[in-house]
Structure formats: C-alpha cells, structure tokens
C-alpha cells in the first residue's frame, strides 16, 4: 500500500495538481491538510472519477483536513479525544478547528493532522499549539497501550522542524515558532510515546525539506524546512520498505496547475 500526506494549500485551487499526482504516483491513500474549504465545497467528483472515496473535515475557508482512499474508508473520526479548542476571544465560546481527521484504510488507522502554526512565540496561539500537541501525545499513547500491534499513521503538517538540520538556516528562525525547544520537545514526546519517523531513514538531511515559502526564490535556492511527517506505530513502521519526499511536485514548470508550498511525503508498505 502506498500512503502519502500533502499540505495542498487549498484543494479547490489545486485539485487538478493533486489528482494528476495521485495517478502518476499510484497512491492508495492520501491525507491532505489545509484544504481551505467547508465540507460542501470540497471537489469530491475528480477523486471519485479516479476511484477514490473522500472524507473531509472543514468548517470554513481556514484549515481543513481530508483523506482520500481507493482501498476503503471505515470508522471515520473527526478530531481526537481531548483535542483542544480555540477562540479568538477569551469571552467567546471556544470552537473546534478542522485539524484532525482519522479513518481506517485497508487495516491502517490513518490520521490527517494539521498542527496549529503557533504564530509568534509566547502568544496565545503558541500555547494553544503546545496544548494541542500534548493532547495528541496523550491520546496517541492510549491507542498503543490499548493495542500494541495497532497499525497507526500520524501524518500531516506538524509545523515543527525537530532538529536544526531541518531548517535551511537556523539563525534565521531563532526567534520564531517551529524551532523552539518546547515545540521540539512536544514532537519528541510523540516519538517517545512509540511513534517512529518512518521517512527520515530514507531521506537523510541536511538540505532535505518539505516546505518552501513562495517568496524570495526560496524553492530554487532550497531554503526550506522539513515540517511534514509520517509517524508510524511500531507495527506500521515494520512494514515500510520505501519512503520519499516528492520534491519535484513543488515545481511549477511542466506540472498541472499551481504548486502548493509543500511537497508530498509518501511511504510504501509491504
């Protein structure tokens, strides 16, 4: 089975790009993030025409997560137990964001995750991000405790560069989110809970990234960050025979439609 994750940065703007790659790369299951649409706006038909079922969680033009599968979708779950909510105003009722969607596809429990950005260090959004990651760690730990043989893939845009080599120039980010020690510790806590970065052994750094900003020729100059990951349970990790960051899909020339600022990340399971 070929499983992939991709922050598509607006599925309506890039549906042709995504479906074209699904065919060329022979993907069985694709987790998507930052779809930027409500459920009734998701372009389901192009996926259905290729034989994919799609589940989506989106409340408005922000965030949004989806899973497309041609090997079945069962037990769909919007959000994980304990997932924090967010409100712009401390006086307003907190509302859940479209950041986590789970489904079982051919025996693999796939989670499409769009971890909060954090915005600025020390801001309420930053603390929300850490709370969100802590809740994910706690719940994901319980999944493995309940079934150590479970095949689970925590996929998506984590908005964290876990090590200095995951950033093109760490000095440029010293005072920014994505690289602070609390964020990195929150990422490590998920790993320590038993989830393995199944892509890194096949894509060693430095200079190997998944995200490049659109500005300042960041992509041609390879000034990027590695922030998109597939973390697998031990049972899933044992099945991985190949993994890659499909950097070529970040290009514009010779491709269908405009690129996302992220590249797809995929694994091959035996």
Per the annotation, binding residues are: 7, 34, 157, 159, 261-262
Cα–Cα distances in angstroms (integers) from residue 16 to residues 53, 61, 69, 180, 184, in the given order: 16, 19, 17, 36, 35
Question: Do residues 115 and 155 make contact, with C-beta atoms less than 8 angstroms apart?
Answer: no
Residue 2: strand pairing partners: 268
Cα torsion for 234, 246, 64, 30, to the nearest 10°? Answer: -60
- Residue 200 DSSP symbol: G
Structure tokens at 212: 């490049």
**Which one of 28, 52, 195, 262 is the catalytic residue?**
262
∠ CA 236-246-50, nearest 5°, is: 80
Chain position carrying tokens 């930052």: 34
CB atoms within 10 A of CB 270: 8
| Residue ranges at the known binding site for Mg(2+) | 7, 34, 157, 159, 261-262
Chain position carrying tokens 């031990």: 234
- Say how far apart CA 244 and CA 203 lie, in whole Å: 6
Active site residue 26: no
Active site residue 178: no
Environment class of residue 207 by beta-carbon count within 10 Å: exposed (0-12), middle (13-18) or buried (19+)? exposed
**Which one of 52, 56, 114, 228 is the catalytic residue?**
114
Q: 3-state class of 170 per DSSP? A: helix
∠ CA 3-5-6, nearest 5°, is: 145
**Which one of 28, 157, 166, 228 is the catalytic residue?**
157
Active site residue 157: yes
Question: Which residue numbers are catalytic?
Answer: 114, 157, 262
């Amino acid at each position: 089975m070929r499983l992939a994750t991709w922050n598509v940065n607006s599925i309506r703007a890039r549906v042709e790009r995504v479906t074209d790659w699904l065919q060329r790369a022979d993907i069985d299951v694709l987790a998507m993030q930052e779809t930027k649409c409500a459920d009734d706006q998701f372009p389901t038909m192009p996926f259905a025409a290729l034989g994919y079922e799609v589940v989506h969680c989106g409340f408005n033009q922000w965030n949004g997560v989806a899973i497309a599968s041609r090997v079945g979708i069962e037990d769909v779950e919007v959000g994980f137990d304990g997932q924090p909510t967010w409100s712009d105003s401390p006086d307003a009722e907190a509302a859940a964001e479209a950041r986590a969607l789970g489904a079982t596809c051919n025996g693999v429990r796939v989670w499409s995750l769009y971890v909060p950005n954090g915005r600025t260090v020390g801001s309420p959004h930053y603390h929300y991000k850490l709370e969100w990651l802590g809740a994910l760690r706690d719940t994901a730990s319980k999944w493995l405790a309940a079934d150590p043989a479970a095949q689970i893939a925590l996929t998506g845009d984590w908005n964290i560069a876990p090590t200095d080599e995951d950033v093109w120039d760490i000095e440029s980010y010293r005072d920014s989110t994505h690289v602070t020690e609390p964020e990195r510790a929150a990422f490590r806590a998920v790993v320590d809970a038993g989830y393995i970065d199944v892509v890194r052994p096949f894509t060693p750094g430095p200079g190997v990234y998944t995200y490049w900003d659109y500005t300042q020729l960041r992509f041609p100059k390879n000034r990027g960050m590695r922030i998109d990951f597939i973390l697998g349970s031990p049972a899933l990790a044992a099945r991985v025979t190949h993994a890659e960051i499909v950097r070529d899909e970040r290009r514009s020339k010779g491709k269908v439609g405009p690129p996302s600022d992220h590249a797809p990340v995929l694994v091959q399971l035996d």
